[in-house]
Amino acid sequence: MRPINLLPTVATTRGRGGLFATLLIVLLAVAAMVYGVRWQEQRVTAASNDVRAQNKVNESLGAEVAALVPMEELRATYQDRVDKVHVALDRDVDWGLFLTELVRLVSSDIQIETISGTAGGGEGEGAFGRVAFSGLGPDFPSVAEWLRTLESEDFSGVTGPWVSNIMRQTLDDEASVNFTSTAILTPESGSGRIDRIIPEVP
């Protein structure tokens, strides 16, 4: 029996099989790459479409806003007028109410001769102005009582009352004291009419 050498045939077969496997792997890899690129291209296209659609929506909304600009100007004009009223009524004092409260609370033996007052700033933070009085009282304690009245909680419109001068005098054989006094107007003396003046827009 003659021996047959099969080795070259096996090597050839192995060689072909290896080449086929290699080509298959390369093809699969290339296919995967192409698929990956296509997939990303689709994502780019989809994202571009989304952006385009969104920009279209925004353009439409922008046109709506442009059509409504007169409304914005209307509101700005209203707000400007409201701000002006606020500025105009800064530290506005209700003098009618102030006098009413003063007359109601001050003791009947005090006779006020003059009252002068100014509204506005210049007296420090929280002050609405200053008021000055001159008056007559029966004696020195009545002036002390006057100060206590101005400082009482019942009369919240003023604070920091002060008497700068008390002088005894005799009128028609009757002794009395005249005095000059000052006080600082508080925010409670304010008119508070701003809400009434500014028409409310819901």
- Sites of contact with another protein (CB under 8 A): 18, 22, 25-26, 29-30, 33, 36-37, 40-41, 43-44, 47-48, 50-51, 54-55, 57-58, 61-62, 64-65, 68-69, 71-72, 74-75, 77-78, 81-85, 87-89, 92-97, 99-100, 103, 111-120, 191, 193, 197-202
Q: What b/e readout covers 5-18, taking b as 16+ CB neighbours within 10 angstroms?
A: eeeeeeeeeeeeee
DSSP state, residue 8: H
Least distance (Å) between residue 80 CB and another protein: 8
Q: Within 13 Å of residue 87, how many CA atoms lie on the same side as its CB? A: 6
Of 132 and 147, nearer to another protein (C-beta) is 132
Least distance CB 21 / another protein (angstroms): 9
Task: Name the one residue in this structure whose structure tokens are 């006094």.
Answer: 181
Backbone angles phi, psi at 2, to 5 degrees: -90, 130
Q: Minimum distance from CB of 148 to another protein (Å)?
A: 23
Rounded to the nearest whole angstrom, what is the least distance from the CB of residue 170 to another protein in the complex? Answer: 19
Of 8 and 96, CB closest to another protein: 96
CB of 115 to another protein, least distance (A): 5
Name, in order, each residue with C-beta under 8 angstroms of 139's C-beta and a sequence gap of 6 or more.
175, 176, 177
Give me the least distance between CB of 3 and another protein, in Å please: 26
d(Cα 104, Cα 135) in Å, to the nearest integer? 16
Q: What is the spatial distance between Cα 100 and Cα 181, in angstroms, rounded to a whole number?
A: 18
* Cα gap 16→78, rounded to integer Å: 90
Between 100 and 156, whose beta carbon lies closer to another protein?
100
- CB neighbour class for 52 (10 Å; exposed up to 12, middle 13-18, buried from 19): exposed
